[in-house]
Chain A
Amino acid sequence: DVKVTQSSRYLVKRTGEKVFLECVQDMDHENMFWYRQDPGLGLRLIYFSYDVKMKEKGDIPEGYSVSREKKERFSLILESASTNQTSMYLCASSLSPGTGESPLHFGNGTRLTVT
């Protein structure tokens, strides 16, 4: 069974802080993704990665960066947290690069509050 683990369930940070959200998957998946979930907006893609050290912008990359130094780990970085980045952050991974037929497997999410 695929396991995607996000290091924190809840985080509270102050405006201007640098924030790291960590995600690890244990199934040797090529693709990894960061989404945020907001009421009425669904899940929106921030960044994704299809290989180690490779990254692509999603639909809402502003204010975020990512790092993928190892295949199993994908980190989301908020360089200077702002209150509009208060959200539920969801990490996901999938097999089969380029086909889209392998479902995304999600972690349980990190609820980030920026005050």
Chain B
Amino acid sequence: DQQVKQNSPSLSVQEGRISILNCDYTNSMFDYFLWYKKYPAEGPTFLISISSIKDKNEDGRFTVFLNKSAKHLSLHIVPSQPGDSAVYFCAASARATSYGKLTFGQGTILTVHP
């Protein structure tokens, strides 16, 4: 069963506009959430994270929002740039039991058009 789901396989956005990527999870034990970005022929790189004690974390153009009651998180990129075009993976961790292992979603391909 897929405990972390990204239901949109792809998203296309105009440069300068907002990109919103969504992620849902089912496991109530997850208490730490991360977003990774992956370019072709490279490994995923860490982008931003949020603990379950918060509902928002911001880092420059990137903001992650967490809605625990809905078991939903989203990544906002404002303004979007062509260099943001990549695959974005949502990931979750249950810190007390996991030794740091992450459960990933299926990924969303973001394309930012100039």
Binding site for B on A (CB under 8 A): 4, 9, 31, 33, 35, 40-45, 48, 50, 56, 58-59, 90, 92, 94, 96-109
Contact = CB atoms under 8 A, between A and B. Distances in A.
Contact of B46 (A33, A48, A90, A104): A104
Nearest to A90: B43
Majority-rule SS of A interface residues: loop
Given A90-B43, A103-B49, A58 B101 contact: yes
Contact of B102 (A40, A97, A104, A107): A104
Interface of B: 4, 6, 9, 31-32, 34, 41-46, 49, 51, 89, 91, 93-96, 98-107
Contacts of A108: 41-43
Given A42-B89, A98-B100, A103 B32 contact: no
Nearest to B42: A108
A12 to B, nearest CB: 17
A40 B95 contact: no
Given A31-B100, A50-B99, A109-B43, 19 more contacts: A4-B43, A31-B101, A35-B104, A42-B104, A42-B106, A43-B44, A45-B101, A45-B102, A50-B100, A56-B99, A58-B101, A97-B99, A100-B93, A100-B101, A101-B32, A104-B44, A104-B102, A106-B45, A108-B42
